[in-house]
Structure 1
Amino acid sequence: MTNQFLCSFLAFFLYSGIISQPYTAAGADRVCGKWQMVGESLVIQVYRDGGEFKAKILWFDDEDDTKPTDYWKDVRNPDPHLRSRKILGLNVVEKLSYNPKTDSWEDGMIYDPKHGRHWNASAYINKDGLLKVKGYWHFKFIGKTLTFKRVN
């Protein structure tokens, strides 16, 4: 009788979410890889760096065929010391951490080199396998969501 009670007790807490099952690194790492923005000309590489997830620019369409892609610099950065950085290879998403309860990556920052601004960021992979990255200012309902498809 005691074992049956204990099993029922643990099942209740697991089902209610009070005790959460540990997530696997593979579940959190499925966001890693190359992603291309849908409807735009941007490819990013999402990767794990210690306990956080980051994304860097691998390729973008600069809409100016007269200059190579690696010519473009971070000229709108609010920090004058960073304005000479190349946009190609630039980390544009940092500090994302995986939340197994919501199956999403939260509490990150996204940098928009086009305007030189930082935003809060979160991300998730929807049922169609698309990566949805949301940049927002303190409240998620005030923001913009970017959609990416995985590329090989």
Structure 2
Amino acid sequence: MKSIITIVALSLLTISSAFAQDVFGKWKTVDDKTGEAKSILEIFEKDGKAYGRVLEILNKEHKDDVCEECEGENKGKPIEGLVIMKALEKDDNEWNDGTIMDPESGKEYSCYIKLQSNDKLKVRGYLGFAALGRTQYWYRVQ
């Protein structure tokens, strides 16, 4: 009987650990320069790939901002609701080979994301080589 309880407990622990290590969900972005919270993004899965959508801009003065610098179908669209992270593919413990778009500049960059802990996500945008880019840390919203 004790061995059955132990097996069940270990199975539940393993399952909860697997769910805890998921990049999907809501994340708070932070301004690199000021350290202030900027927005809430949702990372979601579609066709086995990860995407990120701006759910909310936290600064009330910018809530109605549109993507003036964007090209194509995103030009002039509200930033809230915009999918800015696209088509990241799972590769061991990170998601890569996708893109991330900066709605302020309209520029698109190669991107990878990796959990640093259950509540901290490393987001790296770069041109060409991952060494030539910028890293941000996003924080899980409960």
TM over 0.5: yes
**5+ unaligned residues in a row in structure 1: which ranges?**
1-25
Q: What's the counterpart of residue 73 of structure 1?
A: 66
TM-score, normalised via structure 1 length = 0.71
CA-CA distance at 1:50 after TM superposition: 1.0
CA separation of 1:128 and 1:48: change in aligned 2, threshold 3 A: closer
Q: What's the counterpart of residue 127 of structure 2?
A: 137
| C-alpha RMSD of matched pairs (Å) | 2.1
Paired with 2:22 and 2:117, the residues of 1 have a C-alpha distance of 13
TM-score, normalised via structure 2 length = 0.76
CA-CA distance at 1:148 after TM superposition: 0.8
Paired with 1:128 and 1:56, the residues of 2 have a C-alpha distance of 20
Paired with 1:144 and 1:118, the residues of 2 have a C-alpha distance of 13
1:34 and 2:26 are equivalent in the alignment: yes
CA-CA distance at 1:128 after TM superposition: 6.2
Q: How does 1:1-152 map to 2 (within 5 A)?
A: 30-38=22-30, 39=35, 40-62=37-59, 64=61, 69=63, 71-79=64-72, 81-100=73-92, 103-127=93-117, 129-152=119-142
Paired with 2:118 and 2:75, the residues of 1 have a C-alpha distance of 38
Paired with 1:57 and 1:32, the residues of 2 have a C-alpha distance of 14
Paired with 1:36 and 1:82, the residues of 2 have a C-alpha distance of 22
Paired with 2:100 and 2:111, the residues of 1 have a C-alpha distance of 6
Deviations 1:30-71 (A, max 9, x none): 10000112433211000001111000001123462xx7x1x2
CA-CA distance at 1:92 after TM superposition: 0.7
The runs of 4+ residues in structure 1 deviating greater than 4 Å are none
Paired with 1:91 and 1:107, the residues of 2 have a C-alpha distance of 16
CA-CA distance at 1:149 after TM superposition: 1.0
What letter matches 1:119 in structure 2?
Y
**5+ unaligned residues in a row in structure 2: which ranges?**
1-17
Q: Secondary structure at the match of 1:41?
A: strand
Paired with 1:151 and 1:82, the residues of 2 have a C-alpha distance of 26
What letter matches 1:77 in structure 2?
C
